[in-house]
Amino acid sequence: MQENDSQENESRERESQQNDKPEIDKPPIIRVRDLYVGFGPKMVLEGLDLDVKAGEVMGFVGGSGQGKSVLTRTILGLLPKTSGEIEVFGEDIDKLSPEEHRALERRWGVLFQSGALFSALTVKQNIQAPMREYLSLSQETMDELAMLKIKLVGLAPDAADKFPSELSGGMIKRAALARALSLDPELLFLDEPTSGLDPIGAAEFDELISTLQKTLGLTVFMVTHDLDSLYSICDTIAALADGKVIASGPLSTMLASDHPWLRSYFHGKRARTIVPQGAAPKIPDVPASDAGLLTAAPAGSRHGARA
């Protein structure tokens, strides 16, 4: 209960800090307008709008298969869009030459949902892979930088020469984060960074992301199913359903929404152990069967595992 109270205060403080900052100080780092992405006749994203502001941690939620990873990959330029506009750091990605796009890629780091590390490379070599691709540094400098990143993410130095198969799930996530930080990015894309971690490991990973975000001044776009992450480290949340962002804002916006998926997600049984329900008008529970859009129950609660 006490933990919930202090979490609530922290969240309110974060929200009020967020609200105190004038919008003009925060031009969007990612701006997406009317985005359509599909595979053959099947459209996944249909008219999606999104703004991610400088210095914020945005949690991006939505049922499984709704298109969170597709959106991430489209912003990164790894999937083609059917139509719409995407700007990153104020640059319209359609107007960039390949060289200019490469220059943009150097400014972001990515932790992919799957295939987080190259299995045939050691941790050190994995971290150095983006350096090899984008920079020309001596091996000695790359070794020094890799060891710094390893330290930054809280891995022991001896992890450097281990292969991914020799690491625990939590260590793999940290190594993948070290690789995402390889080029000292300003913007970090994290696709379900805490999935598969035990509750304590996930909480520690959240803490790490939060610390790095503050100390390195990063903007973070984080796809997650994890309610604890949303509650503890995200400044804003955007929710995806039916190919669109259906709501975007602080946690209170999500709690106040009467959209069936959001009601089920943020007011469901699992959410109640994490999210202070008093923070929003009381809305009756929605059975999953009535929610229509519910393709995945929130996988989120670490508290269930603790109980």
Ligand X SMILES: Nc1ncnc2c1ncn2[C@@H]1O[C@H](COP(=O)(O)OP(=O)(O)OP(=O)(O)O)[C@@H](O)[C@H]1O
Q: What's the min distance (Å) between Cβ of 50 and Mg ion?
A: 16
Provide the mask over 229-248, with x wherever binding to ligand X is found by CB under 6 A and - wherever it is not: --------------------
In angstroms, rounded to a whole number, what is the distance separating the alpha carbons of residues 47 and 244? 6
Ramachandran area for residue 48 (φ above 0: left; ψ -120 to 50: alpha; else beta):
beta
Which residues between 51 and 70 bind Mg ion (CB under 5 A)? 68-69
In angstroms, rounded to a whole number, what is the distance separating the alpha carbons of residues 227 and 22? 28
In angstroms, rounded to a whole number, what is the distance separating the alpha carbons of residues 74 and 45? 10
Interface with Mg ion: number of residues (CB under 5 A) = 3
Which residues between 52 and 111 bind ligand X (CB under 6 A)? 62, 64-70
Nearer to ligand X, 123 or 245 (CB): 245
Nearer to ligand X, 44 or 220 (CB): 44
196 binds ligand X (CB under 6 A): no
Q: H or E segment at 89?
A: none
Residue 6 touches which of Mg ion, ligand X, none (Cβ within 5-8 Å per kind): none
Provide the mask over 93-132, with x wherever binding to Mg ion is found by CB under 5 A and - wherever it is not: --------------------x-------------------
Nearer to Mg ion, 112 or 266 (CB): 112
224 binds Mg ion (CB under 5 A): no
Q: What's the min distance (Å) between Cβ of 136 and Mg ion?
A: 34
In angstroms, rounded to a whole number, what is the distance separating the alpha carbons of residues 216 and 204? 18
Q: What's the min distance (Å) between Cβ of 44 and Mg ion?
A: 11
Q: What's the min distance (Å) between Cβ of 293 and Mg ion?
A: 16
Residues 6+ apart with CB under 8 A from 60: 68, 71, 72, 221, 222, 223, 224, 237, 238, 239, 240
Per DSSP, the residues of 247-302 read EEESHHHHHH---HHHHHHHHSHHHHTTS-GGGS-------HHHHSS-SS-----S
Residue 65 touches which of ligand X, Mg ion, none (Cβ within 5-8 Å per kind): ligand X
**Which residue has the closest beta carbon to Mg ion?**
69
The answer to whether the beta carbons of residues 155 and 122 sit under 8 Å apart is: no
Nearer to ligand X, 65 or 217 (CB): 65
208 binds ligand X (CB under 6 A): no
Q: Which two three-digit tokens encode residue 150?
A: 């390893």
The partner residues of 32 in beta bridges, in order of sequence, read 50, 86
Vertex 218 angle, CA 25 and 116, to 5°: 145
Which residues between 33 and 52 bind ligand X (CB under 6 A)? 39, 44
In angstroms, rounded to a whole number, what is the distance separating the alpha carbons of residues 195 and 102? 29
Nearer to Mg ion, 61 or 178 (CB): 61
Residue 193 touches which of Mg ion, ligand X, none (Cβ within 5-8 Å per kind): none
Task: Of 34, 33, 36, give the one whose Cα is nearest residue 81.
Answer: 36
Name the residues that contact Mg ion, by CB under 5 A. 68-69, 113
Name the residues that contact ligand X, by CB under 6 A. 39, 44, 62, 64-70, 113
